[in-house]
Each structure stands twice: as structure tokens, then as C-alpha cells.
Structure 1
Amino acid sequence: MTITRRQLLLTTPALSSALLSACASMPPTVPDGLAAGEQRGWQLEGERFWVWLPREYTQRSERWPLVFFLHGSGERGTDLQKVKVHGPPMWVDRGVAYPAILISPQCDDRARWEPDRLHKLLVALQARLHVDAERCTGTGLSMGGFGVWNWATAYPRDLAAIAPVCGYGDATKVAAMRNVPVRAYHGDQDAAVPLAPHVACVEALRAAGGTASLKIYPGVGHDSWAPAYQDPDLLAWLLSHKRT
């Protein structure tokens, strides 16, 4: 049977659509250097970081939620192992299987996390991993707490929700992130990062129409990340949010 040019033109869009649909339903492959069910070091856009891919990463066609963890000032530098001393990457290293992609970058000797660089890294990750762009969230401790507040303020469409620990944002600017829910943590005896500015930041976000809560640990100092990252609701809360 001879296929006419008209038949070919009519068939091609349908065929292309079918092929695209089939590709979309296929489980993703793992980029070189990474492995499902393992936490491995990787590098993109000049940033070095740990990547945890869920064990079922290659078995499901659905896109995965992504959680960013930003460490504190004590973990800066070039030794990537230091990033795993606290928080989510530590728990993954101890055998906890996160049901999300976990990205734990390392800040070099810069004084703080820079929103522009974090935004650029997120865009690169979304292009290379099977990420649900509507379900990217962030958490961080101390300098990393400041980091997620400032990132969400500068790029309110990047993150669906944040969970900062013992680090606050700029109360005069948080209205820009009124659509980003916040679940914050702080110790009332923190001598390194005072509690009061964090309270002010949460109250400013609420006044701007945002949703924010602050869990205060009585008698706890700067290391409020210890109880915060043992809170079973923290991860579940992050994963429950989609970008609005």
C-alpha cells in the first residue's frame, strides 16, 4: 500500500503524540554518578552536593518531590563529608529512606547562602532529574535557616514550602513570599541566633497574609536542629505542599 503525503502529514502529529505519551510514562533513568537508594556526591553549575534518590526512583514514572537541605556555617568548605553531620543527609547516611529526592549542597567559604546560586542549581536539577517542579521545598539550620528564608523571599516561585531551623529572614521583605508556607523551629535559649527576630519574621509573614508557624523548644540553645530533625511531622509537612 502506498502512503500519500497527505496521509503522512495527518498521521505524524498523532504518532508524535503517542511517542511523547509513551516516553512520559516510562520510569526515569539515573544520571551517571548517581544511584537509586544511595546518597552520592555530585556536581552541577559549580556547586558540590549530596544527592539521595529514592529506592523506587527508576520504578515509577511519576515525578518526585525534591527537598533541599542547607547546612550551617560550621559545615562550609570543600570537605563534602561535613555536610552529613546534621539533619536529613545524616539520617539518610544512617539508613533512613527518604521518599523524596534530597539535595544537600555545600557552601564554600562564602559568608552566606546566595539565593541566585541556589535558584540556578534548582533549575539545573529540574532539567536533569525526574523532579516535580510543583513540589520543591527547602529546610536548613542556622546559616541554612537564614538561607531558606532568603531564598524563598528572593525567588518565591522556587519553593512550595520551607522549614527553617534557628535562622530567620528579613521581616521587611517576607511579604514577597506570602504564598510560601513556613514551619519554623527555634530554641528559647539560643545565644548564637536570637529567637526574637525569628518571631518577628513569622509574625510579619502572617500579617502579609501568609501561613507560618514557629515551634519554640523551651530550655534549648542553638542546637534546636537536634529535636527539629527528629520531628516526624517535619518531612511529612514539607511533602504535603505543592506550589500555589
Structure 2
Amino acid sequence: MTNKPLSREFYSFIIFFLSILCIISLIQSVALISIGSSVMGLQSSDSWMWLAIAVMVITNGALIRYLLHHGYYLAATACAVSCASAFFHYLLILNREWRVFYQEHYHAVASLIFGTAVLWGLSLVFTKAGEKRWLLLSGVLTVIFSLFLAVLFFLYFEAGEGSTKLMIDKISRWVTLFSLIAPFCLLIHFRLEEKRLPITDNAPAQTIPALLKLAAFVGLLFLGFNFSVEALSRSRPYKPSTTELRRSQLVDAYHFVDKSGDSLPYRLLKPFDYDSTKRYPLIVCLHHGGAHGNDNIQQLSADPAPFLMEPGNRAKYPSFIFMPQSPQGIGFSGAYGNASVDSLVFRTIRQLQSRLPIDHKRIYVLGISGGGYGSWHFISAHPEIFAAAIPICGGGDPKYGPKLVNVPVWAFHGARDKLAPVAHSRDMINAIRKAGGKPKYTEYEYAGHGIWDNVKRENIMEWMFAQHKD
């Protein structure tokens, strides 16, 4: 341990960056409480996360220097390991190639994050660093909140019902917000340390630390503003446009309610020139992530619904079009253990079959993005129901490949998709082909996530309606 104290400028530097980090974490936590996982879909999300990474690395670098200066070597090592795991976590989210690994090993990554956070907290409690009251309190709080979040995380994936998952998810968001007390304790510690320093003549500010402060402040000002405004806009109640309201008047609105009280809002469009004495195909249309809610309107404007509702398509391919709406925080697929509304959709399909003249040999499913994942999941869970599926920029579990050998599939994906890794479609197609199936697959080499304009120019309706179960 060295007797020479760190400079006042150093304490000013670490206090500044700890404050910036707390503000960033606060903004991010409030956004998560307001809009949940939709945060990842914000246009400003990537730049905001890069700012968070930069501030986190600088802050922890300064913190490690402080710990080493005072001889808290175990705490410094634990801090470095915790920072490295958090950095690795951010990179997995931001890099589209690595995101596949992240999604497939989410439990392992989460265990690493929680484990290193607990290690960091314990290092402040059971080492010499614990002699400092506010460091000790920060360590205790870090351990408590990290363990609490870890328990909630694993309970979430063990829960079966979507409503239970939503409740656990909501609790975890609030716990994340309150966990900011731990770094705030660090902030108090360094403020008190700075006050204990002897008053000396102010030395001129060093250029690099000053530039880092300026960059962090400007980044927080502009990127934080953009992120906050976009998150606030996404959190506001949905207000349908005049066109959407006009469109909604043409499609019947319903709610399926099961015995437990869970409900599924959906729209049902009857065939063009409907004749109750005839049997018609049923198209299950699954919306993308931007149409979640309970207003029972947004899914009408989410692709591929407008395409299916076009008068020309309705006249040429008469069918019932079933358009369920998934609530916020719940998907159609339950991919990677997330909450799913799939059971309600299947029960609604059975109810529709019992009261409408639906041709049970011609039930089709198609969807985009979240709806693409849902399409893969639906045919994997009940291949006996569907005569064909068109999953667009989605994915599923390759282990179901053998079950899908006899299900006609035409999948689409953009090779440069940053939201839904193209490997997810490739893996499903390869699994089916390996099992002896012959699915169709179209990959657009230079396209990203928005491939619907390309897909709708393909003969998907003609192909789909040519399929039927034996």
C-alpha cells in the first residue's frame, strides 16, 4: 500500500464517471420498466449501449486503479472480472454474428454475469476493502440484488404460464432499478474520500481526462436525449390512425377467454363472397414485434396482414384470415424460454374450427420476425394441424427438424439481418433436409431484416394454397 494519496483530480474524475454511469443506468432502467424488451428494438439502442460500454470501462478502470493503490488486490481482480463479463455481455448483444451464441447459451451468459457480480460484491465485504463503510455497504447491496435477480431469472424460465412470467419480469425490472443504490454508495464513498484530501493549489487539468469527461457529457446529452425520447414515444398508449380505424371496421373483432381468465384479442376476416355452405382454408397470420398490445388493432397494419387483406388476394384466394394479437412482453414462440401466447392461439383455432366451415386440411401459418419465430414454433408444436408454413426472418429449434419432414415450408431470410440472425433459418432448413424433408428456402444476399417487400413479390399465395394435408 502506498502512503501517497491519489490526487484530487483523480477523485473528481472517478466521481464524474460514476455519476454518468448512474445516470445512464437510471435512464436504461426506467426505459425497461416502461417498455420492457422493446428497448432492444429502438433505433437509438445500439449507440446508447456503446456509450454505456465506454463509460462502464472507463469507470471500472479508475475504480481498479483506486483499489490497487490501496492494496485491495482481490477486490481489484473481482472488479476487473465483473467488468469483463459485462463487456462480453454487451458485445454478444451488439454483434449480430455472436448474438446466435448469446441466444443459444443465454443461461450460461446470465450465470456468468450474476456470478461475477456476486464475486465483486463479496470482495468488498470480506476483504480489507470492507473496512470502508460505504464500500462495505455497496458490496452487501451488490450481493443481495445480484442474488435476487439471479433467482428471478431462473424462476422466469421455470414458470409455465405467460402471466406468471410477466409478473416475474416486471419485478425484475424494478429490482434492477433499486440495485442502483449499490453504485450510489460507491459515489458517496469517493465523495467523502475527496473531502478528506488536504487542500492544495489547484493543478491544471490534464488534457486526456478532460477530453474524456467532455465526450461522456456530450454523449449522455445527445444519445441520452434520443434514447429517452424514443423510449417515451414507444411507451405512450397506442393511437390508431384514421386509416387503421377505417380498416378495423372491415374486420370483426373478438376475444378468446379461457377458464383461467387469460384472454387473446384477435381479428377474423371472412372469405370474399362468403358462402356458409362451403369450406374454406384458414390462414393464421402472426404479426411482428411492433404490433404487440391489447388494442386489437395494431396487428391489422403489421405485415403480412395488409397483404392478405388486399381485395385482389381475397378474391383469388378466399379464406378465413385469423389475426391474433400478442400482449406486450409475450411472444408467439416462447423462444429461449420467454413467455408465449401459443396455447391461447391453438385453443382459439380449435374454437374457430368448431363453429366455422374451415377446411381442416388447409390450415396455413405465416409471419414475420416474431411472427416468423411463431410460425416455426407452431408447426414444430403441432405439425399435424398445418398444411403449410411461411416463416419470414424467424427461427426455431433444429431438434424438431424430423417432425417437420412432411410439413411444406417456404422460409425467407435476409443474409444481413441484424435483428434475427440468418443462422436461425439456415439451421431449421438444414435440420429438415438432414431428416429427409424438402423445404423451400429463399435467402436475400444483400438484405437485412426488412425483406417483406421482396417476399410479397414471390408467388407465396399460389404456393401456399397449392398445399393441403392428405
Q: Which residue of 1 aligns with 2:121?
A: none
Q: How far off its partner does 1:174 sit?
A: 2.4
Corresponding position of 2:298: 82
Distance 1:111 1:239, change over 3 A: same
Partner of 2:394: 167
**Equivalent of residue 355 in structure 2, options 112, 128, 138:** 128
Partner of 2:50: none
* Cα separation, partners in 2 of 1:92 and 1:241, compared to 1, 3 Å: closer
Contact 2:324/2:345 (8 A) holds in 1: no
Question: 1:94 Cα shift?
Answer: 5.0
Partner-residue secondary structure (3-state), 1:133:
strand
Unaligned runs of 5+ in 2: 1-249, 258-262, 333-339
The question of whether the paired residues in 1 share the 8 Å contact of 2:290 and 2:302 is answered with no
Q: Is residue 66 of structure 1 aligned with residue 274 of structure 2? A: no
Amino acid aligned to 2:412: Y
Q: Is it true that 1:237 corresponds to 2:460 in the alignment?
A: no
Q: Which residue of 2 aligns with 1:91?
A: 307
| Amino acid in structure 2 at the alignment position of 1:64 | Y
Tell me the TM-score normalized by structure 1. Answer: 0.78
AA at the equivalent of 1:235:
M
Q: Which residue of 2 aligns with 1:31?
A: none
1:97-116 superposed matches below 5 A: 97-98=313-314, 99-113=318-332, 114=340, 115-116=342-343
**What CA deviation, in whole Å up to 9, does each residue of 1:18-41 have, x standing for no partner?**
xxxxxxxxxxxxxxxxxxxx4222
Separation (CA, whole Å) in 2 of partners of 1:128 and 1:69: 19
Q: Aligned partner of 1:84: which letter?
A: L
Correspondence 1:18-57 to 2 at 5 A: 38-45=250-257, 46-57=263-274
User: Which residue in 2 is equivalent to 1:17?
Assistant: none
| Aligned ranges 1:181-220 → 2 under 5 Å | 181-220=408-447
Task: Say if 1:157 and 1:94 are closer, same or farther in 2 by CA, change over 3 A.
Answer: closer
- Of 93-102 and 214-223, deviating more is 93-102
State the shift of 1:100 in Å: 1.2
Paired amino acid for 2:327: D
Task: Provide closer, same or farther for how the CA distance between residues 131 and 76 of structure 1 changes in structure 2, counting only shifts above 3 A.
Answer: same
Alpha-carbon distance in structure 2 between the residues aligned to 1:237 and 1:100: 15
1:215 deviates by: 0.7
Which amino acid is the alignment partner of residue 280 of structure 2? W
Quote the residue 2:205 is aligned against.
none
Q: Report the Cα distance in structure 2 between the residues aligned to 1:189 and 1:156, rounded to whole angstroms.
A: 29
CA RMSD of aligned residues (A): 1.8
Gaps of 5+ in 1: 1-37
Give the structure 1 partner of residue 110 of structure 2: none
Structure 1: distance between partners of 2:256 and 2:326 = 13
User: Percent identical across equivalent pairs?
Assistant: 27
- Specify which structure has the bigger relative contact order, considering alpha-carbon pairs within 8 angstroms and separated by 6 or more residues: 1
Aligned length: 205
Superposed displacement of residue 77, structure 1: 0.6
Give the greater-gyration-radius structure (CA): 2
Most deviating of 93-102 and 142-151? 93-102
CA shift for structure 1 position 51: 1.2
Query: Which is worse superposed, 209-218 or 124-133?
Result: 209-218
